[in-house]
Structure 1
Amino acid sequence: MHVRVTLVTAPLGTSRLAERFADDRPLDQAAWHAVQLASHALVPLSAADLRYCSPTHRSRATGDALGFAPLVQPALSDWDMGGWRGLTLGEVAAHDPRAVDAWLRDPRAAPHGGESLLDLVTRVGGWLDTRPFEDGGALVAVAEPAVVRALLVYALKAPPATYWNVDPGPLSAATVTGHPGRWSLRMEAPR
């Protein structure tokens, strides 16, 4: 069995430094404009057999704007940041630098009281491996950057620390091909 899974990163609408943990705001005007500009390249993905999205407002709105008519998947929820929800990394680091250091260094650490990095990777990896794939099928999912990163780490069987080196830009598309337990990253020339 060989399938194709394309992950589209939802647009943020704010700079990464101003981004707040688990910020579930709707798309702002800049993000809507970005979706319109990228639509020519992304709309063809709506032909996928299965179309999903994260439950976040911006993931659902992005999937709808691209014509995916995606099914919301709770397993694609953004990283549960517990007590850090709504704060920026800078705010948390100013208040508790040791907690941030532990979080960045240890994939099992969850000083915020939410999910650890390992929990996130396991959750989204379990979702990927349990999709109802048919041989030759295609799937597209719109999700938050944290979910896309975690899914790529899982699919490539990379060490969890690799998560911090994966940088999916807004409205980028990453494709893995293969089958549960054996995935390969596929990179294609723009069309």
Structure 2
Amino acid sequence: MPLRVTFVAAARSAPLLAERFDDERPLDQAGWDEVRRAAADLVPLAAAELRYCSPTPRSRATGDALGYAPLAQLALRDCDMGRWRGLTLGEAMAREPAAVDAWLADPRATPHGGESLLAFISRAGGWLDTRPADDGARIVAVAEPAVIRAALVYALKAPPATYWNLDIRPLSTTTLTGHRGRWNLRFEGPAVRTSQL
């Protein structure tokens, strides 16, 4: 049987437009409230044989609040944004508009002095490909939305530019099934009776 890796996006610590590169802020009250409201749907994932998280405070706090007791994985850290760390996209654009444009246009670019988008995608994918290959192992990983986007681009063998078109909402789940080099995106939701169609 294939591996089943379910990513849970960390609860937010700021409004979307105030999100910062390499954000190390803990959950704010709104984030804790979101976790509490989503807990009934997400707590059952704690039954996974392996439970991991990004090393960020909000990923750890989200996983702990859901009862996962996750093991932090350095490979699931957010993209290293070099000198833009701690800035919003708008702040980086105000300071270095040409550099931001180059970074958005070229997945190999590192105008900030950190990690390229392509290297980030490869790192997240490498983590996926090195998960234990036990038959039917269920894995849950609480991660920053950016990490989940990178893992999806890798798993689907999509062009790196696809990264910018994926929207991962806080506390949403994304499931991949498969094994090294062969991953499938699995959409899940409530069952629909055919008689209702």
Give the TM-score band, short-chain normalised.
over 0.9
- 1:91 alignment counterpart: 91
For residue 58 of structure 1, report the CA deviation from its aligned partner. 0.4
For residue 135 of structure 1, report the CA deviation from its aligned partner. 1.1
For residue 190 of structure 1, report the CA deviation from its aligned partner. 4.1
Identity of aligned residues (%): 69
The CA distance in 2 between the partners of 1:63 and 1:56, in whole Å, is 11
- 1:16 alignment counterpart: 16
Give the TM-score of the pair, scaled to structure 1.
0.97
User: Cα RMSD over matched residues?
Assistant: 1.0
Superposed CA deviations along residues 50-103 of structure 1, whole A, max 9, x for unmatched, are: 100011000001000001110110100111111001111111111111111111
Letter in 1 for 2:61: A
- Tell me the SS of whatever aligns to 1:23: coil
Structure 2 unaligned segments of length 5 or more: list them. Answer: 192-197
- 1:178 alignment counterpart: 178
- Tell me the SS of whatever aligns to 1:150: helix
Compared with structure 1, are the counterparts of its residues 130 and 148 closer, same or farther at alpha carbon in structure 2 (3 Å cutoff)? Answer: same
The CA distance in 1 between the partners of 2:145 and 2:55, in whole Å, is 13
- Tell me the SS of whatever aligns to 2:8: strand
For residue 189 of structure 1, report the CA deviation from its aligned partner. 1.0
Letter in 2 for 1:99: A
Structure 1 unaligned segments of length 5 or more: list them. Answer: none
Contact kept in structure 1, 2:13 and 2:26, CA below 8 Å: no
Letter in 2 for 1:109: A
Structure 1 position 168 matched with structure 2 position 168: yes
The CA distance in 2 between the partners of 1:79 and 1:190, in whole Å, is 34
The CA distance in 1 between the partners of 2:180 and 2:94, in whole Å, is 41
- In the comparison of the two structures, how many residue pairs are matched? 191
For residue 133 of structure 1, report the CA deviation from its aligned partner. 2.7
The CA distance in 1 between the partners of 2:122 and 2:39, in whole Å, is 31
Structure of larger gyration radius: 2
The CA distance in 2 between the partners of 1:189 and 1:23, in whole Å, is 30
The CA distance in 2 between the partners of 1:174 and 1:86, in whole Å, is 27
- 2:34 alignment counterpart: 34
1:1-191 equivalence runs, <5 A:
1-190=1-190
For residue 22 of structure 1, report the CA deviation from its aligned partner. 0.8
Give the TM-score of the pair, scaled to structure 2.
0.95
- 2:195 alignment counterpart: none
Letter in 2 for 1:54: S
